[in-house]
Amino acid sequence: MTTSRPEVLDPASPAHRPAETAPASAPPGPSRSRRSSVVIALALSAGTAALVGAEFIPAGVLPAMAADLGVSEGRAGLTVAATALAGAITAPTIATVLPRADRRTVMLSLLGLAILSNLLVMVAPSLPIVLGARILLGAAIAGFWSFAFGVGVQVTGRPALVSTTVALGTSTATIVGVPLSSVLGDLIGWRAVFALISALTLGSGVLLWRLLPPVPAQPGAGLAMMRAALGNRRLVAGVLVIGVAAFANFAAYPYIRLAIEAVQVQAVAALLLAWGLGGLVGNLAGGWAARWIRWGVVAGPMILLAALLAVATTSSVVVLGLAVIAWGLGFNMVPVTTQLWVSALEPRRVESAIALQVTAFQIAIMLGSVVGGVLVDQRGPAAAMALGAGSAALAAVGFAAIRVRPAAS
């Protein structure tokens, strides 16, 4: 079998759920309507949007931030790498450190940590202080993202809904984190943008506090579950490929504004917005492609490959615009499809599988922003785009080579 049916992607389904990871909360029934499940999933999406939006603000305000802190634009891009480094360490370990903690309490605390980080960046006088504050944000993002899917499934019993809405938060954050931050940074200053994202994070925290019930940790959560997940060779290989796919984007994405400016300075705001809108379409396309999950994960990197090659080589504003939209669409399919993909590869230990997916993303963000920054400083943004295109090609081949077997087998 080369494709997986929709039920394969439902680790919360009673038919496929082993006792060791049975949800502590009952799936939606008369007491939890379809509407309330959607509202809770959207609240989780809002929290994800606030955190990921903060992660990528530097990509939208990079020139002003670099000038204010007295560093090159490539070094200022390390603010994204610092966040990712902390996230890569936090994602696979937070469940081990907090194996029994109520997940609602943990997630609200992580949003508070993100607020502290953003406020510190807002007043930081130098790059080292900014980097320290961004480490706090990385821990908050990775922890929240690692728990969001499992918590959502425990409360609603609807994995596809939760995966799509959480990824929708990530896609929305590309609009908040880059295009709007670029415009607002020019109007009110880059530091004020961090104050604004702090307020939005607080609002998402209040929303979750009101809507999300207490969520006990899954039975068996912690080090033993992670060790068992790491024993799944297909999952480990898949996580490595996810890292390559994410690297393809993040070697280029922190420098997207520079790539656009190299063709048409006046088009920056419009094309950054177009990237975000393409991302929203990609989010929906990823959810739709999940019914053919093996090939759904291939489609995103293939579209990303074509888009990055076009951005790297074109001097036409029209072609650049189409390529930027395709870039947003192709990459934003990846978080949705890969989240469901690892759930299909390891349906019995979803929390650990998602944590490894998050780790792969954060390592890729860190390495991509560092390597991309070096290329930008030495050879210009087109070199970073070309590197991303090559990595996307490798990811597409890797995804195609890994078979997803039905959970029922």
CA distances from 214 to 86, 211, 396 (A): 27, 10, 39
Query: pLDDT for 383-405, tens place per residue?
Result: 999 999 999 999 999 999 887 76
Query: pLDDT for 243-295, tens place per residue?
Result: 999 999 989 987 888 889 888 888 887 888 888 788 888 877 877 776 777 78
**Sign of torsion over alpha carbons 61, 45, 232, 25:** positive
Read off the pLDDT band of 131 (50, 70, 90): very high
Query: pLDDT for 96-106, tens place per residue?
Result: 777 778 888 99
pLDDT greater at residue 238 or residue 158: 238
pLDDT greater at residue 336 or residue 314: 314
% of residues, the chain, pLDDT over 70: 88
How far, in Å, CA of 404 to CA of 374, rounded?
37
- 3-state SS assignment for residue 329: helix
Q: How far apart are the first and last CA of the chain?
A: 11
Q: Residue 16: its pLDDT value, please?
A: 40
Position 14 pLDDT exceeds 50: no
How far, in Å, CA of 2 to CA of 4, rounded?
7
| Domains of the chain, each with CATH number or no CATH | 34-401 (1.20.1250.20)
User: Hunting for tokens 């979803």 — which residue is that?
Assistant: 350
How far, in Å, CA of 345 to CA of 330, rounded?
22
